[in-house]
Amino acid sequence: MKPLPEPEGDSVARVDLARVRCYQLLGGALAYPDPDFLSEVEKGTFASELGCAISVAAPDLVDAFAERERSLRADGGSLGAEYLSAFELEMPNHATSLYEGSYSGGANRSEVLLEVKGFLGHFGLVSAKNMPQPEDHLAVELEFMQFLVAKQAEAELRGADPAAYVRAQRDFLERHLAVWLPRFRAVAERQIKSDFYLNVACLAVAFVEVDAARLAGCRDDMAH
């Protein structure tokens, strides 16, 4: 994991680079853990970097993060099994789905997938046939937000207009992540037994809520 960049004299870009890092770290934590991720968790790097990014991108979450930080410094050796138990297997407990389509109510999951694919395709992000998760997987949706915020930050640093990327973030949150994640959190709090994954899930939901509110505020500012 690379350290958070700190552009001098540009607080807006600094916040957006921290937002990129939050989406990157939370999305990576909600994919099946690879050896590099397990090592970062065991060394405490994951928790430290997430705390640093949250302190810049979402200061209102600092206290909530502090309450959960200890659970994010876990024994990496057990996380693979904990991930499968939390999100994939139905035994010994019910799994908590990481797929938006599972929380879409009356909508058909194929419709959800088609719309998410449309968002990705609009920005030239074509899913590989061998990608590990479908497009409506939480890790993929968080990664897409990471991409959009990175493009926004890049535009800001170049002095270009980032409005198209801001609108895309707001639209994606309002149509997808901010809609289904409260339902996901309710299920997670009831079913997930892993302290690590329960706290990662809750922090991801909380960060999306804060970011969605921030972007809604940007719309209000632009209206005036």
- 5 within a domain of the structure (yes/no): no
For residue 16, the Cα-to-chain-centroid distance in whole angstroms is 14
Q: What is the pLDDT of residues 57-92, one digit of tens each?
A: 999 999 999 999 999 999 888 999 999 999 999 877
CA distance 187 to 170: 25
Q: What is the pLDDT of residues 105-134, one digit of tens each?
A: 766 888 898 899 999 888 888 665 445 688
- 2 within a domain of the structure (yes/no): no
pLDDT at 216: 87
This prediction has a pTM of 0.89
Residue 54's nearest CA partner among 20, 22, 7 is 22
CA distance 89 to 168: 34
Task: Specify the CATH number for the domain of residue 202.
Answer: 1.10.3480.10
- 71 within a domain of the structure (yes/no): yes
User: Range of 183's domain?
Assistant: 11-223
Rg of the Cα atoms in the chain: 17
DSSP string, 20-45: HHHHHHHHHHTSPPPHHHHHHHHHTH
Residue 144, C-beta contacts closer than 8 angstroms, at least 6 positions apart = 116, 119, 120, 125, 172
How many separate domains does the chain show? 1
For residue 51, the Cα-to-chain-centroid distance in whole angstroms is 14
- 3 within a domain of the structure (yes/no): no
Q: Which residue has the tokens 């693979």?
A: 80
- 59 within a domain of the structure (yes/no): yes
CA distance 115 to 136: 9
Residues facing residue 137 across a β-bridge: 99
